Structure 1
Amino acid sequence: MVKNPDHVTIAVTDLERSKHFFELLDFELKITDVISGEEVAKYMDVPDIEADHLTMVLKGAEPRFEIQLLHYRNPKIFSDPKISNLARPGYNHLCFKVENIELAVDHLRKNGIKIRSHIMEYLHRKLVYIEGPEYITVELAEWL
């Protein structure tokens, strides 16, 4: 039934900072739009919605994979640092495969990205957690 991931949407309060984060992970901006109106409000169950909607595409990914950034103008949203607690129900983290985890971590650190854990080996991979936009957790994995 399901073939592959298509996209992940992240609601953000700081659009430029979030865009920059995913550019560091080799995503490029492809579409900038503003969503609003009755049809979208009904679909998302968000009355009076108005939001910037940026589509960022992972370079070279086959099949295509997108991160969509949703920046609400209305209603106003707030950031919750408690979302970074991985011992809670719901969304836990998103993981990206990398070729060299040490180089990736070095690149992200040099660009001000918070590394949440040490690199560890588990299930034939090197793994590390990093802090993404709005305190979400992003994991990097290098297959051994």
Structure 2
Amino acid sequence: MLNLRRIHHIAIIASDYEVSKKFYCEVLGLTLLSEVYREARDSWMANLAIDGHYQIELFSFPSPPARVSRPEACGLRHLAFSVENIEQSVAHLLAAGVACEPVRIDEHTGKKFTFFADPDNLPLELYEID
């Protein structure tokens, strides 16, 4: 058996590294754990944490191709973040100039959720937990 324990990290390639780093750190509140320039790849890499846990690798690469995300395309659909209060979280995003879809109710769990996008239009979700 493979015995997976948890997801270690999620890697995101940004078209504008500084804009995305600001979005993930200042708007979403992730913590920048480390950052390194990889000269051989002409690429920056930032390690970002959520609640003290390393979660996201943010990369820059020269001229990355656009990724199709809508209409629904094969592959990773979206990245979801859990929050305790969806209305408060949406208000924070709106105040930062981030558009959010209307809050909906998950028909299977009864939980509130909404979608928004990062600077490269990567679909992100907020999902309210108890």
Displacement of 1:36: 4.6
Identity of aligned residues (%): 24
Partner Cα separation in structure 2 for residue 133 and residue 5 of structure 1: 24
What secondary structure is seen at the aligned counterpart in 2 of 1:9? strand
TM-score, normalising length from structure 1? 0.78
Match of 1:66 among 55, 61, 74: 55
Give the aligned partner of residue 19 of structure 1: 21
| RMSD of Structure 2 on Structure 1 (CA) | 1.7
Could you say which structure has the higher helix fraction?
A: 1
Displacement of 1:114: 2.1
Give the aligned partner of residue 64 of structure 2: 77
Q: Which runs of 5+ in 1 are unaligned?
A: 38-48
What secondary structure is seen at the aligned counterpart in 2 of 1:65? strand
Displacement of 1:105: 0.5
Give the aligned partner of residue 48 of structure 2: 56
Q: Does 1:111 align with 2:96?
A: yes
Give the aligned partner of residue 96 of structure 1: 81
Partner Cα separation in structure 2 for residue 86 and residue 103 of structure 1: 29
Partner Cα separation in structure 1 for residue 114 and residue 16 of structure 2: 24
TM-score, normalising length from structure 2? 0.86
Q: Which runs of 5+ in 2 are unaligned?
A: none
Aligned pairs, how many?
125
Q: Which runs of 4+ in 1 moved over 4 A?
A: none
